[in-house]
Structure 1
Amino acid sequence: MADATPATPSHHRILGAALVSHLPGARRSPLALEQAPNGLFLLWLAYMGLLAFGALLLWRAGAWHRLVAADPTGLTVIIVLLFTGCSLWAGRRAWTLGLQRQQLDGLLARPGLVSPNKEHWSAEYMHGCAQPGADQNTWMQILGERAHGPHEMAWWLNGIQLKLGLLGKVIGFSILALQLGQMESFDASQSAQLLKNLTGGLGIALLTTVTGLTGNILLGLQLMRLDRFADALVADTLAATPPATQALAGAPHGDRPPGP
């Protein structure tokens, strides 16, 4: 009996897609606002406006000052700066994906006007597949890399926020443990100072963890919409590729049809 074929990355992706497709709302298409010109960027802009308004309210309440003063490690400031930088990149990426969507819509409205333009991902894919002897799988990988490749670093930085929060938690509890280890005897007259020192370590642990979790969730929402929009862009590009082009790209020996 022949051995079972080992699982490949393609099989894992197919299995993952099958599992995700059964989640609630997983098959929902991009929002109607996202389909409008620069709609994804406008949606990101509205989202950042809400976050900026919330940050302004926290600043007026003095929460930012207390947050910085309560964390001598500076990890909360690093997390906030990292979140701000990644969010600005997400806005720039939303603008880029929106332009690619407009170019694809224009290409669908005028079929046949396909030029090998690297700035136009869909046109580059269609033109590449139309070449004699072209490998459609290779061009599909190029299209997927252009649409999703830069998102991998953003997701990695999003995870770094959470790790920095956990690092602050470890530092805070380490400070708390050191304070407890330095106690030789309990003196009621020093209880106020002791509680202050213990609360400082506990505050570092909690504040950095909360900041890391909040930044991870808020940035993850932006990256999820970017991934979903990029998925729709790739899917529409593949669906718009003429069947003759797909058959030509799938020929193993140039323009010769597959045979024995």
Structure 2
Amino acid sequence: MADAAPATPPHHRMLGAALVSHLPGARRSPLALEQAPNGLFLLWLAYMGLLGFGALLLWRAGAWHRLVAADPTGLTVIIVLLFIGCSVWAGRRAWALGLQRQRLDELLTRQGSTNTTEEHWSAEYLRGCTQPGADQNTWMQILGERAHGPHEMAWWLNGIQLKLGLLGKVIGFSILALQLGQMDSFDASQSAQLLKNLTGGLGIALLTTVTGLTGNILLGLQLMRLDRFADALVTDTLAATPPAQAPATQATAGAPHGDRPPGP
């Protein structure tokens, strides 16, 4: 029986995942609340409710209007929309993983009965491993792909948020450099307009960078918990796999005296 979960994918080494992994509790195994029926989805709902409350406070303070008005490139809006879309996908994924966890618990309660027609990753893995001549490593890879495969695109989009923030930073400093390059001489009467143009480019650089970093960290927290929950699901499935039994050969079951065939 394989006793180890699949190796950590390379996308976990991205900057967002590295930042999130050092936060308190990010790399812990699934909590008791997550193991409850639909617990992971309920935890995601509570997390999104907290973020929604914070977004409402920012809207009442007028921060969203100023954020959109200060960024003519629209990169901050793209980052926010990307974060919302990925967060909705994370909620759907949390629901799907929660259903698979419930079916695994039901499977263990039935003491290994895999006679079910529902889409059940663990039951499919156990049925495949019990087939004659089955390769457990192949079925383990299939189980790992079902549990972790869809997360790779989400991690990639999470990194795109950070890259968009850095792109806005480059654009902002480029605008700042162009404004400074157009200065032939300093005129005190035009100082107000000059400062306005300079701070515009600096504002684009700072706002897009802050928005990209914030979205990267907040989405990384959701994806990290999904990965940890999927790891626990794969580990429990592997632990429930019956040990492979070597087929008995005629040499071990037959003649105890070397090459002499059994007989009276």
TM (normalized to structure 2)? 0.83
> Which runs of 5 or more residues in structure 2 are unaligned?
none
The offset of 1:132, in angstroms, is: 0.4
- The 3-state SS of whatever aligns with 2:150 is helix
* CA shift in 2, pair 1:142/1:98, >3 Å: same
Runs of 4+ in 1 over 3 A off after TM superposition: 1-28, 115-118, 244-260
The offset of 1:111, in angstroms, is: 1.8
Compare CA radii of gyration and give the structure with the larger one. 2
Whether the 8 Å CA contact 2:6–2:144 is kept in 1: the answer is no
What do residues 70-110 of structure 1 show as CA deviations (whole Å, max 9, x unaligned)?
00000000000000000000000000000000000000000
- The 3-state SS of whatever aligns with 1:105 is helix
* CA shift in 2, pair 1:40/1:61, >3 Å: same
* CA shift in 2, pair 1:114/1:176, >3 Å: same
Whether the 8 Å CA contact 2:107–2:114 is kept in 1: the answer is yes
- The 3-state SS of whatever aligns with 2:249 is helix
Q: How many residues align?
A: 260
* CA shift in 2, pair 1:86/1:26, >3 Å: closer
In structure 2, distance between residues paired with 1:12 and 1:253: 58
The offset of 1:119, in angstroms, is: 1.5
* CA shift in 2, pair 1:240/1:10, >3 Å: farther
In structure 2, distance between residues paired with 1:147 and 1:253: 51
Whether the 8 Å CA contact 2:40–2:94 is kept in 1: the answer is yes
In structure 1, distance between residues paired with 2:98 and 2:209: 34
> Once the two structures are aligned, what percentage of the paired residues are identical?
91
Whether the 8 Å CA contact 2:16–2:217 is kept in 1: the answer is no
> Which runs of 5 or more residues in structure 1 are unaligned?
none
In structure 2, distance between residues paired with 1:186 and 1:250: 103
In structure 2, distance between residues paired with 1:21 and 1:255: 61
The offset of 1:29, in angstroms, is: 2.6
Q: Taking CA–CA contacts closer than 8 Å with sequence separation of 6 or more, which of the two structures ends up with the larger relative contact order?
A: 2
* CA shift in 2, pair 1:258/1:184, >3 Å: farther
* CA shift in 2, pair 1:249/1:87, >3 Å: farther
Match of 1:256 in 2: 260
Whether the 8 Å CA contact 2:70–2:200 is kept in 1: the answer is yes
Whether the 8 Å CA contact 2:162–2:209 is kept in 1: the answer is yes
The offset of 1:212, in angstroms, is: 0.1
The offset of 1:245, in angstroms, is: 18
Using the TM superposition, name which of 19-28 and 150-159 deviates more.
19-28
Whether the 8 Å CA contact 2:17–2:224 is kept in 1: the answer is no
The offset of 1:23, in angstroms, is: 11
The offset of 1:28, in angstroms, is: 3.7
The offset of 1:155, in angstroms, is: 0.2
